[in-house]
Amino acid sequence: MVYRTFKAIAPLALLLVAAACGGKTPEPETPVDEGASKTVETPPPPPKCESLDEKCAATKETSAKVKSAKIAFQPAEKWTYAQGEAQTIAQASEEGAIVVFGSYTPDKDAKKDAAAREAALAELIKTTAVTLPKGYKVNWKKPDNTQEVNGVKLNVWTAAGSERAKKKGTLLVLQAPLKDGEPALLGLGFAADDDEAGMGAVSKAIESIKAE
């Protein structure tokens, strides 16, 4: 009889324990899905490389576009470059070798054409922060050299004794007529006299110019 009584009261004992704990049986815990709690972060879009502040570094595959002149060129590997609306610049550093390309709109009127070209040149010089030799003027009617690269006929002028960041070197001034009715190319390239690597990089950038 004792055995049966014990068996009969055993379920009641369990109920009493449950009542003492709050009167409710504990609910099973829902497993937490750790993966669901993690937010998937979208990677930021690649830089547009429209400003030097973006610090875009050129690679072997980089083709920098000159939007205003509808040409492209290859900056030297690891050079910082920026593709603006009016100008595209590539430089080894803020004080090192540099190339910058822009454009101007030719005019049948000789005075207007010269004014447009000089204004565009002044903007390019401002961008490069290069100081021309005292009294230097580009003789637009007589280039120092001509060169054809990938079908683009370049007129080239050299301004030896130019200066950037207190380092003297040679500034190359480039001009090329493109398609009729289209803006003409105008560009600059500078490297210090003791910067052979910079000279080579500037030359290669110029030789890579292609019309789009």
Same domain, 32 and 90: no
Same domain, 62 and 96: yes
Same domain, 14 and 56: no
Instruction: Identify whether 182 is part of a domain.
Output: yes
Same domain, 82 and 183: yes
Same domain, 28 and 71: no
Contacting residues for 10 by C-beta, under 8 A, at least 6 apart: none
Within 13 Å, how many C-alpha atoms sit on residue 162's CB side? 26
Q: Number of folded domains in the chain?
A: 2
Q: Kindly tell me if the per-residue pLDDT of 181 is higher than 90.
A: no
pLDDT at residue 30, rounded to an integer = 60
Same domain, 56 and 26: no
Same domain, 33 and 57: no
Instruction: Identify whether 44 is part of a domain.
Output: no
pLDDT at residue 42, rounded to an integer = 84
Q: What is the mean pLDDT of residues 140-152?
A: 96
Comparing C-alpha atoms, which of 77, 73, 78 is closest to residue 101? 73
Instruction: Identify whether 98 is part of a domain.
Output: yes
More reliable by pLDDT, 32 or 169: 169
Same domain, 27 and 62: no
Same domain, 9 and 76: no
How distant, in Å, are the alpha carbons of 5, 17, 166 from that of 95? 99, 83, 9
Q: What is the pLDDT of residues 74-104, one digit of tens each?
A: 999 999 999 999 999 999 999 999 999 999 9
- Whole-model pTM: value is 0.79
Q: Residue 7 — pLDDT band, cuts 50, 70, 90?
A: very low
Instruction: Identify whether 125 is part of a domain.
Output: yes
Same domain, 26 and 103: no
pLDDT at residue 107, rounded to an integer = 94
Instruction: Identify whether 110 is part of a domain.
Output: yes
Same domain, 70 and 165: yes
Instruction: Identify whether 76 is part of a domain.
Output: yes
Please provide the distance, in angstroms rounded to a whole number, between the alpha carbons at the two ends of the chain.
105
Instruction: Identify whether 93 is part of a domain.
Output: yes
Mean pLDDT of the chain: 87
Domain hosting residue 149, numbered range: 52-211
Same domain, 99 and 129: yes
- The CATH number for 193's domain is 3.40.1000.10
Q: What is the mean pLDDT of residues 181-187?
A: 94
Q: Kindly tell me if the per-residue pLDDT of 14 is higher than 50.
A: no
Of 32-36, 136-140, 151-155, 163-167, the one with minimum mean pLDDT is 32-36
Q: Kindly tell me if the per-residue pLDDT of 13 is higher than 50.
A: no
Q: What is the mean pLDDT of residues 100-111?
A: 96
How far apart CA 79 and CA 56 sit, in angstroms, is 8
Percent of the chain at pLDDT above 90? 76
Instruction: Identify whether 43 is part of a domain.
Output: no
Q: Residue 45 — pLDDT band, cuts 50, 70, 90?
A: confident
pLDDT at residue 111, rounded to an integer = 95
